[in-house]
Amino acid sequence: MSEKIFVAGATGLLGGRIVSALLDQGASVRALVRPGVDGEKKAAIGALQARGLEVVEGDITGPVGALADAVGDATTVVSAVQGGPEVIVDGQVNLVRAAEKAGAGRFIPSDFAVDVTKLDDGDNFMIDWRRRAAASYGTAGITVASVLNGAFYEVMLGFMGIVDWERGTLSHWGDPDQPLDLTSVDDTAAYTAAVALDPAATGTLRFAGEVVSFRGFHEAVQRGSGRRLELRTLGTADELRAEIERQAGLTENPFDYVALQYQWCMVSGKAKFDTLDNARYPQVTPTSLADFVRTSG
């Protein structure tokens, strides 16, 4: 395969799986890794190197010239970085400049969320950063292909605080029949790899492993886990918005209520995908939510 893919954020959960999915397809992959990576991350990168990954040390916030040298002859640059605005905004804009300087033709930003194109500033502060970054690099001389996956299964079952296994409850805000776009990390990585290896893929592409309401989410989690969970409705989408505003008035740390912001983006229906691009890559067969719960233990 002639094209080389450059991946930033390869030591993260999604980034490492994107690299793995690209290697599975026989792609030539180079990853940017910060100096001094150790422990489990070093071991994970070592395993990918054994499969053919080329590693260069550096940082997306570093000098553009050095970063362009790291990008080298890559034709597509994939960003799977996570962090604050200094990474998501400044770092990604810096990465695009470096990619352009190196002669790369396409950039896949670290979006990986609900439909960011339908949200307004203030709906979700972490998505605001991604929108700011897009506005900054949107005028660059490089083609952008944004991959959106809705919410990760892993996040819905963990970080969101929706499922309480000890109490046997599954709690949510909003209409229990509002459809939600959900995808596993592995399947998001597989779709991202497919986009990276598809020279014709541009613009915003939307994928979902499953489109299911909270009522359907509850049923799938029960089927997959073999456990009975009480479905609890905490309030309407408007009441959730009011709760977010209340919490924002009590803390200076927006991470205290970001999980609620993500849930509002979904249950309000504002960030729901209008169409899906799954059919573009029939080689990717996404895992159902029930099967994911069943196999993840």
Sheet holding 4-8, edge to edge: 54-57, 28-33, 4-8, 76-79, 106-108, 143-148, 203-206
Domain residue extents for the chain: 4-148+184-207+273-279
Q: What is the pLDDT of residue 188?
A: 98
Question: Position 182: which residue type?
Answer: L
Q: What is the pLDDT of residue 157?
A: 97
Q: What is the pLDDT of residue 1?
A: 46
Show the low-confidence residues of the chain (pLDDT under 70).
1-2
Question: Position 74: which residue type?
Answer: A
Helix (H, G, I), strand (E, B) or coil at 270: coil
End-to-end CA, the chain: 37
pTM higher than 0.75 for the full model? yes
- DSSP assignment, residue 145? E
Q: What angle do CA 92, 96, 102 make, to 5 degrees?
A: 140
Q: From 3.60.150.10, 3.30.830.10, 3.40.50.720, 3.40.50.510, which CATH number describes the 4-148+184-207+273-279 domain?
A: 3.40.50.720
Phi-psi region for residue 115, left (φ > 0), alpha (ψ -120 to 50) or beta?
beta
At 91-106, the pLDDT tens digits run: 999 999 999 999 999 9
